[in-house]
Amino acid sequence: MMLATVCCMAVLAAAQNSNDSMKQDNMKGDKTVMGCVRSNNGMYMLEESNGKMAMLTGQTDLSAHVGHTVALHGMWQKSDMANNGTSDDMKKMKWDHKGESFMVNNVDMRSETCDMPMKDKSKM
């Protein structure tokens, strides 16, 4: 009986340590950014409320959120695409997060519309 109690306590302690470790890992890299999802030639970007533009990457399907105000959960990562783009239109964009893109893990829609008209960053 005592051995079973010790085993259960050890399993619970290991599970708690694992959960604490996962929370710490998530807190280190996980970020939330808010703004309006835009699209150009199959590439997605986020126009933040301050007017900054961020390249979006990841496996999350953003097509249903174009033109919506969203909260995106994920992490910033180094990206050559944010510097170079893949199309002429994307290369003309003046990215505000040079050398970085935001890898989206999850989307929370805040509104089906965007409160701001898209700025033409190619002329800025």
Residue 17 has pLDDT above 60, yes or no: no
CATH at 100: 2.40.50.140
**What does the alpha-carbon distance between residue 1 and residue 4 come to, in Å, rounded to a whole number?**
5
Q: Where is 42: in which H helix or E strand?
A: none
Task: Judge contact between 76 and 121, C-beta under 8 A.
Answer: no
Residue type, 82: A
Residue 32: how many other CB atoms lie within 10 Å: 10
Q: What is the pTM of this model?
A: 0.64
How high is the mean pLDDT of the chain?
A: 73
**What does the alpha-carbon distance between residue 25 and residue 38 come to, in Å, rounded to a whole number?**
30
77 falls within a domain: yes
Summarize pLDDT for 25-77 with one digit per residue, the tens.
Answer: 444 579 999 999 999 888 999 999 888 899 999 999 999 999 999 999 999 99
Q: What is the pLDDT of residue 10?
A: 45
36 falls within a domain: yes
Determine the 3-state secondary structure of 66 from DSSP: coil
26 falls within a domain: no
Question: Percent of the chain scored above 90 by pLDDT?
Answer: 44
87 falls within a domain: yes
Q: What is the pLDDT of residue 99?
A: 80
Quick one: pLDDT band at residue 89, thresholds 50, 70, 90?
A: low
Domain count, the chain: 1
**What does the alpha-carbon distance between residue 97 and residue 76 come to, in Å, rounded to a whole number?**
9
* Token output for 24: 């710490």
7 falls within a domain: no
8 falls within a domain: no
Q: What is the pLDDT of residue 98?
A: 76
21 falls within a domain: no
Q: Which domain holds residue 89?
A: 31-114
68 half-sphere exposure, CB direction, 13 A CA radius:
14
Residue type, 100: E
**What does the alpha-carbon distance between residue 38 and residue 87 come to, in Å, rounded to a whole number?**
15
51 falls within a domain: yes
